[in-house]
């Protein structure tokens, strides 16, 4: 194998290693995304539960109000029994009528609140179901992502071993140069000549450079981007 051929194999492994690192980096973001969705469902459920609680408190308040009107009516009736004039009697009668009207109003409110409670309970049950379903999805996602991480880790370990063996077999100067370019460009350090142009930056190369590259023996670099050039045979 020529040095270029060895570098091409090395580059293939390095690109794979890099891709695996990128895949690994994406996983925490994907996990927090599904957690955010889950949290939104939890918040929606909490809101539904809160609305139901407020409704229950409002019903309780109405019932207390009715109770206090009833007690007042009892008191008024006792007082009414002890009046001396018709005028006083009628005043009590009016007050009692007003309290009875207040009770009917409160009872109407209670009916509305109870109807609302029905809808709110349905809503809470629905939100609980949705949360349960979402939790299942999130759990499955997390499991899949963890498995993916495991696969990536194993492949990366195997690649690291293979890469070390490949690198050992490459001339130190070429390797150092290759590594510097690969790190710098982030994509390819060794590129083919493509009809007289650099396969990396696509600039037209001087004929002499093309001739040098054709020999695939000496180190030929693109004068524009610095990538190593080879002649694809």
* Sites of contact with Zn ion (CB under 5 A): 198, 200-201, 222, 224-225, 227
Nearer to Zn ion, 62 or 213 (CB): 213
Nearer to Zn ion, 4 or 200 (CB): 200
Nearer to Zn ion, 61 or 225 (CB): 225
The count of other CB atoms within 10 Å of the CB of residue 78 is 10
For 222, list phi and psi in degrees, rounded to 5. -70, 130
**Three-state DSSP class for 181?**
helix
Nearer to Zn ion, 56 or 203 (CB): 203
Q: Least distance in Å: CB of 199 to Zn ion?
A: 8
Nearer to Zn ion, 120 or 228 (CB): 228
Q: Least distance in Å: CB of 177 to Zn ion?
A: 14
**DSSP label of 221:** B
Helix axes 86-168, 3-81, angle to 10 degrees: 170
Q: Least distance in Å: CB of 229 to Zn ion?
A: 8
**Three-state DSSP class for 19?**
helix
Q: Least distance in Å: CB of 172 to Zn ion?
A: 24
Q: Least distance in Å: CB of 205 to Zn ion?
A: 8
**CA–CA distances in Å: residue 143 to residues 28, 30, 150, 156:** 13, 12, 11, 20
**Strand partners for 190:** 228
């Amino acid at each position: 194998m020529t040095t270029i051929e060895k570098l091409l194999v090395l580059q293939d492994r390095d690109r794979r290693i890099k891709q695996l690192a990128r895949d690994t980096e994406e996983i925490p973001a994907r996990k927090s995304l599904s957690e955010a969705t889950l949290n939104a469902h939890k918040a929606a459920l909490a809101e539904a539960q809160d609305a139901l609680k407020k409704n229950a408190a409002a019903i309780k308040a109405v019932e207390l109000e009715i109770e206090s009107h009833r007690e007042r009516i009892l008191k008024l009736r006792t007082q009414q029994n002890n009046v001396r004039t018709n005028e006083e009697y009628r005043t009590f009668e009016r007050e009692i009528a007003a309290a009875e009207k207040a009770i009917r109003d409160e009872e109407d409110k209670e009916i509305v609140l109870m109807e609302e409670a029905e809808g709110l309970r349905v809503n809470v049950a629905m939100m609980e179901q949705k949360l349960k379903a979402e939790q299942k999805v999130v759990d499955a996602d997390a499991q899949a992502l963890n498995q993916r991480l495991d696969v990536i880790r194993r492949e990366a370990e195997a690649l690291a071993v293979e890469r070390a063996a490949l690198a050992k077999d490459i001339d130190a100067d070429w390797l150092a140069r290759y590594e510097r370019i690969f790190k710098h460009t982030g994509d390819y350090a060794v590129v083919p000549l493509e009809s007289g142009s650099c396969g990396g930056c696509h600039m037209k190369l001087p004929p002499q450079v093309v001739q040098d590259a054709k020999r695939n023996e000496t180190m030929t670099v693109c004068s524009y981007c610095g990538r190593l050039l080879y002649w694809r045979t």
